[in-house]
Structure 1
Amino acid sequence: MSALKPTLVIIHGGWHVPESYEKLIVALEAGGYEVHCPRLPSTNQSRPPNADLYTDSELVRSYVSSLVRAGRTVVAIMHSYGGQVGSNALVGLGLENRVAQGLPGGVSHLVYLAAFAVPEGISMRDKVKEFNHMGLVPLAFNFAEDGTCLNNDPKTLLIGPSTVDEEEVERYLSTLVRWNGNGLHLPIKHAAWREIPVAYIHATADMTMPLDYQKSFVEGMEKNGRPVQTFELATGHCPNLTATEGVVEAVNSFVKG
């Protein structure tokens, strides 16, 4: 691995686990990156759930902090719900801030991959309410009494139309697990995008995180003074599977830029 390349940390989405990102991890590693993808506690299958957004944030902060303290330059790639986790977890770990304090390592870039990117105090549900889509939530997600949930139609809502081989799609779907859907209701306490350079990869055919949502995230960050470099992929909610090379190209372009 080239010493000049940053370490990549993928922060996965709801229902997903690290195995869901195997195709993207392999592609990024082939490009010379070291890639990490810690499993979020909210996907640990506990019933009733014993982990949520804040537990996930603590895990990611600890994981990335250990890399940073070892002198690593880290790029966080956050998918879907992972945007809430990364935004909340990585505040104070920015490379620029750490260099100014004479500290080693730091998070140099944040890459939101069809991911939530909101200000402090905002939950995922707040965004759904803003777009008057709360009535669609029970159609898309199957919530149990304990708050854990499954996606009602992941093949349509998460993957969507694609050129990916059917066997590969089914293998991907088999990695998805029950997730603590209470994460929809919890607001983030921090917004790391205020202090770390940001890229946003739009998935233009996304049926889970509509493009209007994605565009509003970028507009919100820019209104708050954070420039955002944007990329567009004509794919559904999981570009890690359906537009893998496009994700790699966007990461390469952003990191090199």
Structure 2
Amino acid sequence: MAAATKPTIVIVPGSWQLPSAWDEFRAVVARAGHEVYHVSLPSVGGTELPLTGLTEDVAAVQHVVEGLADHGDEIVLLCHSSGGLVGSNAVMGYDIATRNALGKKGGVIRIVYLSAFMLPAGMSLMDMLGGVPLPWMVVDGDRVTGDPEMMPEIGFNDLPADQQAYWAQQVTWTSAALFADPSQYEPWNNGIPGAYIFQTVDNALPLHLQQNMAQQLQLGPDPRNATVETGHCGFLSKPERLLGALKQVIGGN
């Protein structure tokens, strides 16, 4: 019976990575007794033109969250990298307090940022980057990819060399629209509990930038944080340790 009381984990992934990158971590979370879902975002690897941006990604997350919440689930959004932008906007109206006030059951009880972007309302990812793509980002028309020569060290630096090479090849494009679309919502300023998991050897989103963004959580209720000594993709390199950090910020075992 205890397992049924554990929150459901909904993963809001970042750019470029296919769902398979999360398979092992999802299995680790499931073994710990949580239901766990990965949302496939339309902006990642999309083929229908024009490529879609934030609005469609938000709708994809809300579709998953609404179905679970209507079933009575208490949900934790685990947002990685650019998924922080998507998750922040997707939680609007889907937090448990808002739903309960409308007589609905279930909802999001906490949003957790894993080396993720927390953007003030009105700011886009590209704004946060100073209006210029990072050196390892390749903008080609309507899509953005990672430089294949740099991705192993940027995204997978704490994996063995063969795994770095493998995962650097298992990436796709992200719609440039996602980087241009401004955020519309700040969960931390709207009563929604938040947490940040810092990844200390992250070469894609360095620790000091994570820490600067995470300070915004102090504006909201019950801010929490945890730290793991991993690169940008701790779900690949140290899934068990990442699970421990997740437990730390959401409570329970």
Q: TM-score, normalised by structure 1?
A: 0.89
Partner of 1:65: 66
User: How far did 1:196 drift?
Assistant: 1.8
Question: Pairwise mapping of residues 1-257 of structure 1 onto structure 2 (< 5 A)?
Answer: 2-46=3-47, 48-129=49-130, 137=133, 139-145=135-141, 147-152=142-147, 153-160=150-157, 162=158, 164-193=159-188, 194-222=190-218, 224-256=219-251
Q: TM-score, normalised by structure 2?
A: 0.90
Contact 2:156/2:167, CA 8 A, preserved across alignment: no
**What stretches of structure 2 of length at least 5 have no aligned partner?**
none
Deviations 1:76-126 (A, max 9, x none): 100001000000111111113323443210101111000011221111122
> 1:195 & 1:203 partners in 2: Cα distance?
25
Identity across aligned pairs (percent)?
Answer: 28
Letter in 1 for 2:192: I
164-173 vs 228-237, greater mean Cα deviation: 164-173
Q: Judging changes above 3 Å, is the alpha-carbon distance between structure 1 residues 10 and 39 closer, same or farther for their aligned structure 2 residues?
A: same
User: How far did 1:13 drift?
Assistant: 0.4
> 2:88 & 2:137 partners in 1: Cα distance?
24
> 1:225 & 1:14 partners in 2: Cα distance?
27
Q: CA RMSD for the aligned pairs?
A: 2.0
Contact 1:206/1:237, CA 8 A, preserved across alignment: yes
User: How far did 1:45 drift?
Assistant: 3.5
187-196 vs 209-218, greater mean Cα deviation: 187-196
Q: Judging changes above 3 Å, is the alpha-carbon distance between structure 1 residues 76 and 35 closer, same or farther for their aligned structure 2 residues?
A: same
User: How far did 1:240 drift?
Assistant: 1.1
Deviations 1:154-203 (A, max 9, x none): 1111112x2x3444444433331111133122111122333321110111
SS at match of 1:121: coil
SS at match of 2:5: coil
Letter in 2 for 1:251: L
SS at match of 1:109: strand
SS at match of 2:10: strand
**What stretches of structure 1 of length at least 5 have no aligned partner?**
none
> 1:72 & 1:256 partners in 2: Cα distance?
16
User: How far did 1:28 drift?
Assistant: 0.6
